[in-house]
Amino acid sequence: MRQFCLLFVVVIAQIVWAGVAPSATLAVRGGNVTLLLATATAGQEPDPAVYVAANALKYRKGNFDPPQKITAETDLGTPLFDLKVEAIGLRSGISTGELTLATTAQDLITNITKKGARSCDLRYTLEAQVSDGTGTDVHTVTYTITAD
């Protein structure tokens, strides 16, 4: 049986001050996560591996800021496998749904309008095709809060 493996590291949270007051904050909790694709039905693609990081993304909109958004991107330009992320269980803002991480920042949460501390879970999904072969990807995922 082939094993498809992905190791990814969530290490960076940043604030882009254009349109964001100094009272805005962003933090990622959790640390390193390993997803392993090891099961598949004969003749079919491997089953996706899913990991939900509870309360992993902490964010705060400043009191007088315009609506904010949070973007996500990876540093890995040519991954072997698809790594997806979705913000779930939001307490402020609108999730854009599941997105496949790329080296270009993509909106993860938009329309953050409530002031004060908020958090959400992050659901990571690893998907691969048999044709992808075997190997390991290492991602550094960057989350950024900025004006919407």
pLDDT digits (tens, 9 = 90+) for 49-77: 899 988 889 888 877 778 889 999 999 99
List alpha helices for 1-148, DSSP H. Answer: none
pLDDT of residue 2: 46
Would you state the pLDDT for residue 1? 43
Overall average pLDDT of the 16-38 stretch? 72
Per-residue pLDDT tens over the stretch 85-138: 999 999 889 999 999 999 999 999 999 988 888 999 999 998 888 888 788 888
Give me the chain's average pLDDT, please: 82
Q: Are 74 and 139 in contact (CB under 8 A)?
A: yes
Percent of the chain with pLDDT over 90: 31
CA gap 65, 136 in Å, rounded? 41
Q: pTM, whole model, 2 decimals?
A: 0.85
